[in-house]
Structure formats: C-alpha cells, structure tokens
Amino acid sequence: MRNLIAFLWKNYFFFLFVALEVVAYFLIINNNFYQRRVIINSTNDMLGNVFEGFDNFSEYLSLSKANRILSEENARFYNMRPESFIKNDTTTFFIDDTLYNRRFKYIAAKVISNSVTRRNNYLKLDKGRNHGLKPDMAVITSDGVVGQIIEVSDNFSSVMSILNNNSRISVKLKNANHVGSLFWDGTDYRMGTLVDIPSHVLISKGDTVVTSGFSHIFPEGKYIGIVEDFNIGTGDSFYSIGVKFSVDYNKIYYVYAVENLLRDELLQLDENKIAE
C-alpha cells in the first residue's frame, strides 16, 4: 500500500493529467454528445447577462440594419392585415370558427449571441421559460430557418443553429415534393448539404428548398434556400445537393420561436406505434 502511494505520488503529474482528462471527457460526453441533456451550460442567467451587456453594445453598432429589417417586416405584416384585403365571397361564416385550430404559436425574441465560424454553432436568445419558450421549439426569421431550441433558463435560451454538426432538418424540394435531409458540412456558412433525394428526381439550379414539417418541430413550407449545385457520385442512387441558405446567419438580430401546439399529440402517436 505504501509502495502504491509512493508510486502515485512520484508520478502524480501523469495521474493528475489523466484524472483531469477523464473529467473533461465526461463533461464532453454528458454535455456535447447528447446536446439536449445539457446540464450546465451558458444559458444560465449570469453568463446570459454578460452576453446581453456585450450585445447591447454591438447592437448599437448595427441599429440601422436592424431598423431596416424591422420596417420591411412591418410592411409585410401590414400587407397581411384584414384591412389590406377585400372580401369577395358572400357566403356566411361564423366568427367563432372551430374548423381552424391554432397549430403554431410565434414568439418574437432577440438574438444576444451568435456564431458562424465554429463547427458547432449556437445562438442565445433573450427570452426563456418565463416567456413561454421550451426546448425543441423551432427558431426562424422572416427569411428562413435558424435552428431549434435545446435549452432554456428562466430568461434566456440556447439555440442549436442549422450550422451545427448535430443539426439534421427534414426538408423537401418545393417543386418535386421529394423529402430529404439537410445538414451543414462545416465549410461555408452560406451553404448547406441536402441528401437523400433519389437520383430519378429532376432538379435544376435555383429550385426552392423548404421545410417538410415531418419532424413536428418546424412548420411546413418554411423557406430554407435554393439549390446551388448538385451531383451524383458514380454508383450512387442519391443526389448530394448544395443549398444556398436564404438567411445570412452572420446577421440575425430578431427571430421567432415557433411552438407546435400539437407536437405532444404527434409524439404520443409515434410512441404508441412503437409500443405496439
């Protein structure tokens, strides 16, 4: 026993190194590999406040751009108001219509930190549990899809960007209606890769790519980008398609968190199917 202690003591540098690496390894496994089971992360309020303070400064520098985007968005919403439409039909209808159930709820939030240069990128929003944000809600902007919420604290939330090794989004080609899977290969933050589109589908450059809505997270038909290039490897039966994102991820200021109000019901259905 004494020899063992002496041995450990003599080589403590090595053993301390191994111990610290093991600690780091467990932290990585618990917090990175299973993204959704994040225990301690930067969403906690103290760090959120640091980011918010810093962001207030950088936001000041980009006010004009943010204003322009907001006013464009305002204009679009004005266009959607009932006053902007003329009523053509004369059929009677009930105001309290039960034919329509609200399926998606939008909550506006501000981005307080963002990155595009890492292999795994995250955003932080200034809204959290208190404002109704929950993990697995979709995050979109007026131009397209941003990512999904992975962790919320009382006042802040972390979003896994589309620009992340762990991000897979179910998308479809708007014209062909074929469904594939979109991920990011880590090279260029303006380009994503779309796979699983079978080779018999006719694609052309400029085709629109939208969300499929199959994941129960994103609403169907949200704009993602356009086809920039595509190819089939020899002997492959699926395309590899380069998609140019519609959103410039390096300048996102205001986003909407989208809650699928029927998600639990859909997941319940999936679970029942598996159980059978």
> Which is nearer to other proteins, 165 or 208 (by Cβ)?
165
Among 126, 136, 186, 240, binds other proteins (CB under 8 A): 186
Tokens in use for 251?
A: 């300048």
Task: Write the DSSP string, 95-152.
Answer: SS-SS----EEEEEEEEEE--SSSSS-EEEES--GGGT--TT-EEE-SSSEEEEEEEE
Label the pairing between strands 240-245 and 191-195: antiparallel
The conformational region for residue 177 under phi > 0 = left, psi -120 to 50 = alpha, else beta, is left
Size of site (CB under 8 A) for other proteins: 41
Among 8, 34, 49, 54, binds other proteins (CB under 8 A): 54
> Which is nearer to other proteins, 121 or 141 (by Cβ)?
121
DSSP assigned state of 265? H
Among 141, 153, 157, 158, binds other proteins (CB under 8 A): 158
Angle at 59 between CA 54 and CA 64, to 5 degrees: 165
Q: Supply the minimum distance, in Å, between the C-beta of residue 21 and other proteins.
A: 6
Tell me the per-residue interface mask from 237 to 276 with other proteins, x by CB under 8 A, - otherwise.
-------------x--------------------------
If one asks whether residue 67 binds other proteins (CB under 8 A), the answer comes out as no
Q: Supply the minimum distance, in Å, between the C-beta of residue 24 and other proteins.
A: 4
Q: Supply the minimum distance, in Å, between the C-beta of residue 194 and other proteins.
A: 17
Among 4, 5, 40, 275, binds other proteins (CB under 8 A): 40
Tokens in use for 29?
A: 């496994």
Q: Supply the minimum distance, in Å, between the C-beta of residue 88 and other proteins.
A: 50
Are residues 188 and 175 in contact, defined by beta-carbon separation less than 8 angstroms?
no
Are residues 224 and 192 in contact, defined by beta-carbon separation less than 8 angstroms?
yes
Tell me the per-residue interface mask from 91 to 130 with other proteins, x by CB under 8 A, - otherwise.
----------------------x-xxxxxx-x--------
Are residues 118 and 32 in contact, defined by beta-carbon separation less than 8 angstroms?
no
Are residues 180 and 196 in contact, defined by beta-carbon separation less than 8 angstroms?
yes
Among 6, 10, 32, 62, binds other proteins (CB under 8 A): 32
Q: Which of 214, 218, 240 is nearest to 227 (CA)?
A: 240
If one asks whether residue 165 binds other proteins (CB under 8 A), the answer comes out as yes
Which residue ranges make up the site for other proteins (CB under 8 A)?
12-14, 16-17, 20-21, 23-33, 38, 40-42, 47, 54, 58, 113, 115-120, 122, 158, 165, 185-189, 250
